[in-house]
Structure 1
Amino acid sequence: MSVTPRSVGRRERNKQQKLDRITAAARELFTEHGVDEVTTQQIADKADIGTGTLFLYAKTKSELLLLVQNSSYADALTRGRVAAESTTDVLEAVIAIVRPVVECNRTQIDNGRTYLREIVFGDPEEPHHRDALDLTVQTEEAIAAVLNRDESVSARDAATLAHIVSAIMLLSMAATTNIASTVDDIVQDIEHQVRVLLQH
């Protein structure tokens, strides 16, 4: 007996459509002007909703940034995993995962740095913040899976190394000294650090 999936109700469709409009409006405004120069009223106006409705989806501008960046980060991580699957060299596969995340974070540098600050210092009870933390865990799991290709590396050590690689990546993206650095500069710096790490 086949089970026909239940269609999504009108209310759920409306909620998703509003969320999509909010995300698109916030992404466009944040990319064009930077998160600090955009107001929640501007986002609500661009999404064609009231501010009260906007706050049902995200209570603060920081949460809106998390919502936008999480979506981009998830796409970047998917691209990185796919690239890593077709790369046999372990270091190159790790960097294949790292590069799209760095690119995503550097689309608008101030937004990217604010996003990283929110991941570290934001409210872990807030849903968009929890999603961001989950993405960092997924990134570490993807890197650990690559490191596990080396039979001399235990699963526990692979997880620990992946955690260190994640910390290197986040610090390299957030560092004030790297504000003027290009994506290639940051990726090369991360690659050098990871190469040294994996040699020990």
Structure 2
Amino acid sequence: MHLASQPVGRRERNKQAKLDRITAAARELFAEHGIDDVTTQQIADRADIGTGTLFLYAKSKGELLLLVQNSAYADALARGTAEAAGITVPLDAVMAVVRPVVECNRTQIDNGRTYLREMVFGDPDEPHHHAALTLAAGTEAAIAAVLEREARTTADSAARLAHVISAIMFLSMAASTNVSRTEEELLLEIRNQVAAILPA
């Protein structure tokens, strides 16, 4: 029998079921109270597991937030990339990629800012942190692909611009001065900064 067609064993199913419960518990509690007001014990209790088991899946509360947010970020990036595919104006196409990522990050502003801090300063050897960095790189790649469609932009130039645009987006979402801004105000600020660096 081919390895890919072998059924998943009971042990793997149990591990996945625990991970699903942990993810759901952390998502609910972080959404209800914010990451700062939730303990790992509360997450373990809601997931109906011991704290020792919880730490087998994520070594810290920050890693749990990465686990939760990565899934939402991946969905947002997929939506943005699909939306950008049908847009021919480079600035509009870039913002089509950026908008759902910003919306996702601002669902719970404190959680979103903590997620970005964990992404930058977390342990790159942790799997959820690595996944977050992969998503950030995927965002840059999606923006670069949009910019490359413009005949005057080379692949190298598109990659450099995408890196700068990604930095603008992440810094705008993380800045404490932007906490009180509405989502639309933040998106307009990002749009104006991106417009200033795109080729005329």
2:31 and 2:105 map into 1 onto residues whose CA distance is 11
Q: Secondary structure at the match of 2:123?
A: coil
Aligned to 2:168: 168
TM-score where L is the length of structure 1: 0.96
2:75 and 2:14 map into 1 onto residues whose CA distance is 24
1:190 and 1:27 map into 2 onto residues whose CA distance is 28
Residue deviations 1:97-132, cap 9 Å, x none?
Answer: 101100110011110001111111111111111111
Aligned to 1:113: 113
Aligned to 2:198: 198
Aligned to 2:123: 123
Taking only aligned residues, the RMSD between alpha carbons, in angstroms, comes to: 1.3
Aligned to 2:61: 61
1:199 and 1:4 map into 2 onto residues whose CA distance is 47
Counterpart code for 1:9: G
Counterpart code for 1:130: H
Question: Gaps (5+ residues) in structure 2?
Answer: none
Counterpart code for 2:174: A
Residue 20 of structure 1 and its aligned partner are, at CA, apart by 0.9
Task: Report whether the alignment pairs 1:20 with 2:20.
Answer: yes
1:5 and 1:60 map into 2 onto residues whose CA distance is 35
- Compared CA separation, residues 88 and 40, structure 1 to 2 (3 A): same
- Compared CA separation, residues 3 and 173, structure 1 to 2 (3 A): closer
2:97 and 2:8 map into 1 onto residues whose CA distance is 34
Question: Gaps (5+ residues) in structure 1?
Answer: none
Residue 89 of structure 1 and its aligned partner are, at CA, apart by 1.4
2:119 and 2:3 map into 1 onto residues whose CA distance is 40
2:3 and 2:47 map into 1 onto residues whose CA distance is 37
Aligned-residue sequence identity (percent) comes to 67
Residue 4 of structure 1 and its aligned partner are, at CA, apart by 7.2
2:14 and 2:167 map into 1 onto residues whose CA distance is 39
Counterpart code for 1:194: V
Aligned to 2:100: 100
Residue 25 of structure 1 and its aligned partner are, at CA, apart by 0.5
Aligned to 1:48: 48
1:5 and 1:142 map into 2 onto residues whose CA distance is 32
Aligned to 1:31: 31
- Map of 1:71-110 to 2, 5 A cutoff? 71-110=71-110
Q: Secondary structure at the match of 2:149?
A: coil
2:53 and 2:43 map into 1 onto residues whose CA distance is 11
Residue deviations 1:144-176, cap 9 Å, x none?
Answer: 000000111110110000000000000000011
1:3 and 1:178 map into 2 onto residues whose CA distance is 50
1:20 and 1:181 map into 2 onto residues whose CA distance is 34
- Map of 1:142-181 to 2, 5 A cutoff? 142-181=142-181
